[in-house]
């Protein structure tokens, strides 16, 4: 069983994905996977440097979140490599897998998974969570959110939706119910 977890920036996807590890799922965090690919793949680095004039990830973020064509180009360079690595992990692991992929739908990678879980929370909570990490300004958060498919579009692709506005215990209960539903014949 391969489950994709997606949602918008700051909705709690990684928290939800990690909850599945208690039930025997191997968690594949696509953001971490990308960082590994980026740090090791000299061809990718060369292409990114040529395209964006820098390898500084913060500078690249500023470029792509202010220019949808540049974001599309970055995705064209990176998504095939990420998808190839996810396929390799799936092939080499005979276990239940959770793929924590913020851009699962944007990357058109739904066919890699058996079920899609969308994690959502209200915008105020989402922004509050992101600001607490002190990695992004409010303006940067707005730009990142604008670059993603809107929540109402992502929901159309979901088999399950986790409402992550409430206490962690309530989220855990939703996960247990989903696992029961997925596991039953």
CA dihedral sign of residues 82, 84, 85, 86: positive
CATH number at residue 109: 3.40.50.300
d(CA 102, CA 34): 12
pTM above 0.85, yes or no: yes
Percentage with pLDDT > 90 across the chain: 54
> Domain of 132?
2-183
Q: Give how many domains the chain has, as a whole number.
A: 1
Cβ(82)–Cβ(107) under 8 Å?
yes
The per-residue pLDDT for range 128-142, each reduced to its tens digit, is 777 777 777 778 777
């Amino acid at each position: 069983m391969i489950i994709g977890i997606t949602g918008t920036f700051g909705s709690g996807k990684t928290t939800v994905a990690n909850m599945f590890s208690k039930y025997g799922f191997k968690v594949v965090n696509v953001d971490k996977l990308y960082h590994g690919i980026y740090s090791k793949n000299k061809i990718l680095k060369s292409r990114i440097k040529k395209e964006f004039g820098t390898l500084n990830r913060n500078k690249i973020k500023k470029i792509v979140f202010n220019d949808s064509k540049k974001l599309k180009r970055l995705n064209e360079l990176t998504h095939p490599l990420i998808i190839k690595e996810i396929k390799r992990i799936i092939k080499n692991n005979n276990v239940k897998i959770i793929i924590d992929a913020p851009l699962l739908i944007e990357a058109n990678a739904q066919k890699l998974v058996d079920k899609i879980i969308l994690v959502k929370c209200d915008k105020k909570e989402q922004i509050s969570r992101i600001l607490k990490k002190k990695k992004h300004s409010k303006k940067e958060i707005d730009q990142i959110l604008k670059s993603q498919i809107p929540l109402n579009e992502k929901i159309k692709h979901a088999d399950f939706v986790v409402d992550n506005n409430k206490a962690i215990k309530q989220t855990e209960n939703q996960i247990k119910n989903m696992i029961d539903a997925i596991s039953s014949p």
